[in-house]
Amino acid sequence: MKLSGDKLNVIQEILDKTEKEVENMDPVNILIAGKTGVGKSTLINNIFREKLADTGIGKPVTKHLRKISKQSIPIVLYDTRGLELEQSIQNQVKQEVFDLIKKHKNSQEAIHVAYYCIQATSSRIEDMELELIRDIADKIPVILVLTQAIGKPAEEFKRYLENMNLPVAAIQTIMSEPYEISDDYVIPAFGLKELVAKSLQLIPKDVQKAFTNAQQADIEKKAKDARRWATRYVATSFGVGFIPIPFSDASVLVPMQITLLAHITAIFGISLDKSTIVSIVAAVGGTSSATLLGKTLVANAFKFIPGAGTIVGGIISGTTASVVTSALAISYIEVLSVISAKEKAGESIDLSLIEKLMTRQFKKNIKLNRKQINNKELEFEEGSELETALNEYDIQQNQSLPFYKKIIPTIKKTIEKHQNKH
């Protein structure tokens, strides 16, 4: 831990520990195969964060294989090209894929799973593709991904493939992005969460954390993993044998809380900069002094714990420290979930609103007992805590907009309604 006199740069320490945790993750390696135009790039950009197909570095590995990776995202993708070309080229592509799998077998670069993408609307699969799928499946797990899976034809095509009894681990229909049928009807994206779940069942346990970090399709999965880890961490750090500490020495909580926040950030895999962390931590404690985060956090917490009275000059019990740190963890997870949802939607984050949201969530969570915290819902579904947190942010965002920006959507709806009448 880096100290400057008796001061600790809490924010930088969180960022440094987060970066180190991500660097220590064994990367997950995935082969993305399929003909050009079947939606591989769209799939990659929507299932993995930071538009990886567009912003990642694509390095040619062989003549027909491209390696896609990006610093700070613990995943490597291998994309095939040229499958739709003449037979001799197809044979070259196949050989390059098999050589890649063989070369990296039993190493950190081993290919863990293959996504073979087929456009569902084509309702056909060539013999060459069937042969390639069988050959790959003989070496690594394969998931058949049916892209642009619109309507009944896609379901019939899926049943057709299932009846072929191909040696694949799973067949998943997806719509990577919302599909606009008309101005009034849009088919929402679907299938990506299921693809994430099936992938996690197939890849080795030691790279599952990396996959969770890299994927953005299932934010609830990130939140649940973070909650599960935080619960164990708090129970271990503040167990029955935890020695009560004077309030003046509350700064001893800081190393534990830094580790807690850094690990949660690493699980979520969102690119938080210093200013974002400052806003979140400042909402419940301090940002630069070792005494501020631990002491101020506990002092602030006691304002919200019913019947607790004042703690100044008193003793902090293990139970109190545990409750406060649990509330910090749960609130942080909920706020990171909102940030992840906004990033996924391509929306910018208002740091002042994030700070207000963190304050609000912490005030709510500090009043809960351990059982209530453990039973909180972690879904972006109506009535859940995460859905409520997201709505809180949206309400604040709308309230902070100037009047003319608030009224424009209403005017648009009125005009559209009038046009539809005529």
Q: Is 102 helix (H, G, I), strand (E, B) or coil?
A: helix
**Domain parsing of the chain, residue ranges:** 26-213, 218-400
Task: Give the pLDDT confidence score for residue 144 in this predicted structure.
Answer: 98
Contact call for residues 39 and 147 (beta carbons, < 8 A)? yes
Residue 65 CA to residue 351 CA, distance in Å, equals: 41
What is the spatial distance between Cα 343 and Cα 48, in angstroms, rounded to a whole number?
Answer: 12
Environment class of 45 (CB within 10 Å of its CB; exposed 0-12, middle 13-18, buried 19+): buried
Q: Which amino acid is at 385?
A: E
Torsion of CA 59, 61, 64, 67, to 10 degrees: -50
> Are the C-beta atoms of 286 and 210 separated by less than 8 Å?
no
Q: Hey, what amino acid is at 207? A: V
Output the pLDDT for position 413.
Answer: 52
Tens-digit pLDDT string for the chain (422 aa): 444 433 447 788 888 999 999 999 999 999 999 998 899 999 999 999 999 999 988 888 988 899 999 998 999 999 998 777 678 888 898 999 999 999 999 999 999 999 999 999 888 898 989 999 999 999 999 999 999 999 899 999 999 999 999 999 999 999 999 988 888 889 999 999 999 999 999 999 999 999 999 999 999 999 999 999 999 998 887 654 456 666 556 667 778 888 999 999 999 998 778 788 888 877 776 544 433 455 556 665 555 555 444 444 456 666 777 777 888 899 999 999 999 999 998 898 899 999 999 988 988 888 887 778 777 888 888 878 888 889 889 888 887 755 444 455 555 555 555 555 54
Structure tokens at 123: 């309702």
Integer Cα distance of 291 and 281 in angstroms: 14
The whole-number pLDDT of residue 74 equals 97
Are the C-beta atoms of residues 46 and 192 closer than 8 Å to each other? yes
Name, in order, each residue with C-beta under 8 angstroms of 107's C-beta and a sequence gap of 6 or more: none
Domain 26-213 grouped into CATH 3.40.228.10: no
